[in-house]
Amino acid sequence: MPTRPRIDLAGFHHVINRGVNRCDVFNHASDKDMFLQIINKTATIHKVYLHDYCLMNNHYHLLIETQKENLSTFMRIVSANYSQYFNKKYKRSGHLWQDRYKSKYITSDEYIYTLIRYIENNPIEAGITDSIKNYPYTLASQILNAKSVHPCARESMLLIDFDIQTLCELLETPLSENELDYLKEKDKQKIQKTDDGIKIKKSKAFVEHFSDIQNRHDRNFAIINAHLDGYSQVEIANHLNLSKSLVSKVVKNGDVAPGV
């Protein structure tokens, strides 16, 4: 089966990879330091910004911004250089990474800020720590502890868009089940290159989402799913002859509570 082509457009990307057979790819703090050094050196050459990261023992999350269509080149160099370092240090051979890295193209501010909270909360969800500040291998931890960051992260939105208080406020609330479902739906979302940039491929035609509404519960459920599928709140409100504020409330609540 042919591999699916990468979305290599300039923009924001969530990149994930893990060790082959889920083995550890970072055995020591020095390995994580080396991985970040390799990222920083490669990012400087290829004009890539690192907006956030989390390094766990057997996998990593990166939130990066490319200025050119060079995500594949950037990640190939990072992966190869780190594999060479790791195999030499631990006297091993063969593949280090489970597969090609996985990447998702970020299409909205809501997506990116929810994703930042997800990335930063990885160590807490894994039971490694009870505080982002206490886990040294996320970007927010470096910022909250007033530590210097690598040059490739100096343009991070965590530094540019937030002061310490607002960054803490963003990160202190755990992701709800609805927000996790939102990220899962975004992960399934298919992006298609066009002459004008990108196009979100919808899973259903617009009218299909609202073809079998029997009551308010069905309606709200359809609103949420249509929005997750990439349709705008304005489109949904106009189609259902509802106020934009009501549709926004349903989407924001992420539930189908009676009375909404």
Topology of domain 11-178, CATH: Alpha-Beta Plaits (3.30.70)
d(CA 107, CA 207): 23
Q: What pLDDT is recorded for position 258? A: 46
Q: What pLDDT is recorded for position 207? A: 83
Q: What pLDDT is recorded for position 192? A: 65
The model's pTM is: 0.76
**Would you give the distance in Å from CA 82 to the centre of its chain?**
22
Of 48, 106, 35, 101, residue with least CA distance to 74:
48
Q: CB–CB of 46/70 below 8 Å?
A: yes
Q: At what angle do helices 177-188 and 109-120 cross, to 10 degrees?
A: 120
Helix (H) or strand (E) holding 249: helix 244-253
d(CA 202, CA 105): 15
Please spell the DSSP secondary structure of 61-100, one letter per residue. Answer: EEEEEESSS-HHHHHHHHHHHHHHHHHHHTT--S--BSSS
Every domain range in the chain assigned CATH 1.10.10: 202-253
Weakly modelled stretches of the chain, pLDDT under 50: 1-4, 256-258
Q: What pLDDT is recorded for position 83? A: 97
- From the candidate CATH numbers 2.40.128, 4.10.240, 1.10.10, 2.60.40, the one assigned to the domain spanning 202-253: 1.10.10
Q: What pLDDT is recorded for position 164? A: 94
Q: CB–CB of 57/135 below 8 Å?
A: no
pLDDT by residue (tens digit) across 29-71? 999 999 999 999 999 999 999 999 999 999 999 999 999 999 9
Every domain range in the chain assigned CATH 3.30.70.1290: 11-178
